[in-house]
Amino acid sequence: MNASEILGSLSYQERKVLLALAKLGDGASPEGIFEAGPFGQMVEVMNAASWLQSKGLITMEERGQKVYGLKAKDIAQRGLPERRALDYIGRNITVKMGDLDKALDKGEVPVAIGWLRKKNLVKMEKTQGETVITLTDAGKEALVQEMRDEALLKRMAVGEISERDAPADIIAQLKGRQDLITERLQVARKMSLTELGRQVLDLGVVLKEEVAQITPELLQSGKWKEVSFRRYDVRTFAPTEYAAKKHPLTRIADEVRRIFLQMGFTEIDEEYVQPAFWNMDTLFTPQDHPAREMQDTFYLKHPSKLSIADDEELIKKVRSIHETGGDSGSLGWRYKWSRAEAERALLRTHTTVNTIRYLAKHPNPPVKVFSLSRVFRKEAIDATHLPEFMQIEGIVMEETASFDMLVGILREFYSRMGFEDIRVRPGYFPYTEPSLEVEVLWNDKWMELGGAGIFRPEVTAPYGIKHPVLAWGQGFERLAMLRWGLKDIRELYATDMDLLRQSPIF
């Protein structure tokens, strides 16, 4: 905006402040402007001034300073206790300690004596068991002359004094006395015109009343023809309001859940802590599988072991499937299966625990369940890895379930999440055959998002399952990163307020 456009945008109050500032000159205070206006309320000055500031016409310098006022109001008239004592001593020939009671209130005597001595105004002499008080030279002088602290108190009685206008030593002294003066912090503001402010003033700022609101009366009376209307300026700054909203991750999780529920699935979950038996053995993962090793799995110390004995029949079947294939039609892994290894407690490394445990309890078709929950792996944290993350897991078991159906379900899920296309590559998991890896198309790039497959007979045989079980486990954070346009997975959990505020509600 140029100077004349800005001039056109100025409200009545802004014009008034600008003119007052031009009159008072740079360095004027809002209080000065308030009187020069004149304005009805201080907020009018402050509002207009902040608009003028945002339009670049004025600057406002703020400085904090301490101001002091009189708290013990009566002192201004009665005088300090030591002053009253001093005058009394001056009027009398010999004054003994006990006589001061006549000149002072109860309780003031020690205060008065303390300050008389501190200010070196009196001498005390003990004669014949009595203390006689006499004035020093300084005391005599003080009889006829106001002391510095008295002078300052007198000024404070009229109005507050800023630290700049008061001697620091006297202030310190007065502050040390009980309940005598008040201290508070005051912000002093100084306004000045900018170069642009001067240019606008040079164009000729005139004060005219403005109408900010059209009323029926204004229209009916025809007065609208004479008045000038306040202009809208859609370019002026206004603070952004950030509405409360759910965390983006929660919103994406809600979306995943809604999609599976709409597709006819039921949500399930299980404990984070599992015996290796359910995390691995029932999934036909051999006990020497590299993924079981310490660098991948968090094994627990307390408890280090979990009982798996609630179904000895199942344990026997799983053992024989691992060792010889049992009656699954497989040859098995051909090693000696260890129960102790299967009993080790761990943090689940995948949510396939959830689906296999569900399947064990629900061996009859149809089964359609999903879970969206947390898993744990010993990963070093970097831009694409976290030791804790979420998986989108699911199974479908029914008579006609097929590989095509599996790909179709995944395709449907991703398309409902806004990913236009997916493709599958062959993959490998000990518990599925065929196994596949899912890639989704995002911004013209294929991104790997998870695994899937059909459970092997070695997995389903112990439960007498006759029909195909389609299974998948997909990464949740990866999906969220793509949707949110993040390059670093850590940002999802970083609680960066700016990022959260700006996150779109999709």
Contacts with ligand PHE by CB under 6 A lie at 350, 352, 429, 432, 450-453, 471-473
Residue closer to ligand PHE by CB (options 13, 432) is: 432
**Residue 94 near residue 122, CB atoms below 8 Å:** no
Whichever of 453 and 462 has its CB closer to ligand PHE, that residue is 453
DSSP state of 384: T
How far, in Å, are 86, 118, 181, 436 from residue 79 at the CA level? 11, 17, 14, 96
Compare residues 275 and 451 and give the one whose CB is closer to ligand PHE: 451
- Using alpha carbons, select from 372, 465, 363 the residue that is nearest to residue 413: 372
Angle between helix axes 81-91 and 108-118 (nearest 10 degrees) is 80
CB of 391 to ligand PHE, least distance (A): 6
Tell me how far, at minimum, the Cβ of 483 lies from ligand PHE, in Å: 20
What is the DSSP-derived secondary structure letter of residue 463?
G
Task: Give the position of tokens 């004094």.
Answer: 161
- Select 462 or 473, whichever has its Cβ closest to ligand PHE: 473
In the complex, least distance from residue 451 CB atom to ligand PHE, rounded to whole angstroms: 3
Q: Which of 429/484 has CB closer to ligand PHE?
A: 429
Give me Rg for the CA atoms of the chain. 43
Q: What is the DSSP code (8-state) at residue 281? A: G
Question: 264 CB contacts (<8 Å, ≥6 apart)?
Answer: 368
Least separation in angstroms between CB 279 and ligand PHE:
10
Q: Which is nearer to ligand PHE, 16 or 350 (CB)?
A: 350
Residue among 450 and 462 whose Cβ is closer to ligand PHE: 450
Whole-angstrom CA distances from 265 to 11, 259, 271, 318, 395 are 61, 9, 20, 28, 9
| CA-based torsion, 52, 54, 57, 62: positive or negative | positive
Q: Nearest distance from residue 340's CB to ligand PHE, in Å?
A: 24
Q: By C-beta, is 34 or 278 nearer to ligand PHE? A: 278
Distance separating alpha carbons of residues 165 and 160, to the nearest angstrom: 10
Q: How far is CA 321 from CA 93, 197, 204, 487, in A?
A: 121, 88, 96, 43
What are the φ/ψ torsions at residue 157 (nearest 5 degrees)?
-65, -25
CB of 427 to ligand PHE, least distance (A): 7
385 beta partners? 382
Least Å distance between CB 263 and ligand PHE?
A: 17
Peptide bond before residue 286 is cis, with ω within 30 degrees of 0: no
Count CB atoms within 10 A of the CB of residue 105: 12
Nearer to ligand PHE, 376 or 429 (CB): 429
Closest CA to 419 of 490, 335, 348, 478: 478
CB 325 to ligand PHE: min, Å: 21
Nearer to ligand PHE, 13 or 282 (CB): 282
Report which residue type is found at 331: L
Q: Residue 269 Cβ, how far from ligand PHE at the closest point, in Å?
A: 15
State the residue number with the nearest CB to ligand PHE. Answer: 473
Which residues in 247-366 belong to E strands, given as ranges?
266-267, 273-275, 345-347
Q: Which H or E run contains 184?
A: strand 181-193
User: Least Å distance between CB 235 and ligand PHE?
Assistant: 52
